[in-house]
Structure 1
Amino acid sequence: MSTVTPQQLIAAQQSSLETLFGFANQAFAGFEKLVALNLQVGKANLAESQQILAKAVAVKDPSELIALSASLSQPAAEKVAAYGRQVHEIVSGVQAELSSAATSQFQQAQKDAQGFIESLAKNAPAGSEGAVAAWNSAFSAANATYESASKAAKQFVATVSAGA
């Protein structure tokens, strides 16, 4: 019967660590984008506030101040909406990258598990066909469950994104 070698365990651990750090790097890249966006928005708001304050100080009568206030509400609402869209794009992009990476990692794990089961079946002692068949059945059921959950999750994300 075939057994797992220390080299195979080391390779599996290295692969898992690479995957973990890949996910962490993708998350940090998204965080960096959010920080950059917030810095950009903060700088723009500071400059705009300075201009608005200069205009407000230069106002000579209350009607000008009311007109200035009214002229600011529409652009402010548009800026908030644009900011929300940009945040959504960044978060959606990171989510899509992580989802894609997780899917490919899972598919590789499926292939590895299938290879292990096939190796087990080839090297199994006589009379163990029932156990091997049970492993195959459990593996197939797990794959079907994953596929069903994955489709439902993708459908849910698409529905939520369409509503946003």
Structure 2
Amino acid sequence: MTLSSPEHIAAAKANVDAFFGLTGKIFEGVEKLAALNLQAVRATLAETRENMTKVSGTTEPQQWFSLQAGFIAPFAEKSLSYGRQVFDIASTTQSEVTHLAQTHYERYNDRVQALVEEAAKHAPTGSEAAIAAWKSAIAATATLCETLQKTGQQAVKIAESNFEAVTATASKAVRNNAGQAPVAVVAKR
């Protein structure tokens, strides 16, 4: 078997395809995150300009404090929404990358098992222990990969539920605080 055999060429092509598939998914996630950040910056600049215009037209301290208090709740809600969107992009990208890696691993594992089976057919007598050790190592590696994948999925689910709980609590706190009247400042003479 030479390095330019059809099997090697197919394996090399599969590796290149896997690499570009993986980097493509990562770049898609980065593009989504960059677009989200640009959108957030544009919205923040527009809102800041609008708020500065409102604040500059105030003449009374109470009016100024009321406007300031009115800015907090929408900002907090938008910050929570931004955090949710970032988390969604990250978890979607992670899921797609994991799927691609799992698919590539399964193909690679199948090729290794076929190689071991082929080696077992042509192995000299007395090498059964070595072949059994190879098969055992392959099985242990497959079990480890499955365990790591399940653990990763559980960690993502836990992180997602924790994030949702924190977001719900923060959102509730913001709504409760937004309903309260701003504190009046009385100037002492």
Return the TM-score normalized by structure 2: 0.79
Count of residues paired in the alignment:
162
Offset, 1:37? 0.6
Q: Tell me the residue number matched to 2:133.
A: 134
Q: Tell me the residue number matched to 2:181.
A: none
Offset, 1:127? 3.4
Q: How far apart in 2 are the matches of 1:44 and 1:5? A: 56
- Bigger drift between 137-146 and 111-120 goes to 137-146
Q: How far apart in 1 are the matches of 2:125 and 2:3? A: 23
- C-alpha RMSD of matched pairs (Å): 1.7
- Bigger drift between 100-109 and 150-159 goes to 150-159
Q: Tell me the residue number matched to 1:46.
A: 45
Q: How far apart in 2 are the matches of 1:132 and 1:144? A: 18
After TM superposition, which residue ranges in structure 1, 4 or more long, deviate above 6 angstroms? none
Return the TM-score normalized by structure 1: 0.90
Q: How far apart in 2 are the matches of 1:50 and 1:29? A: 32
Q: Tell me the residue number matched to 2:25.
A: 26
Offset, 1:5? 5.4
Percent identity reads 35
1:110-158 CA distances to partner (integer Å, 9 max, x unpaired)? 1111111111122223333232222212212222222222222222222
| 2:26 and 2:93 in contact (8 A); partners too | yes
Matched, 1:161 2:160: yes
Structure 1 residues 17 and 118, CA, compared in 2 at 3 Å: closer, same or farther? Answer: same
| 2:25 and 2:96 in contact (8 A); partners too | yes
Secondary structure class of the residue paired with 1:6: coil
**Greater percentage in helix:** 1
Offset, 1:4? 6.7
Q: Tell me the residue number matched to 1:6.
A: 4
Query: Which runs of 5 or more residues in structure 2 are unaligned?
Result: 164-189
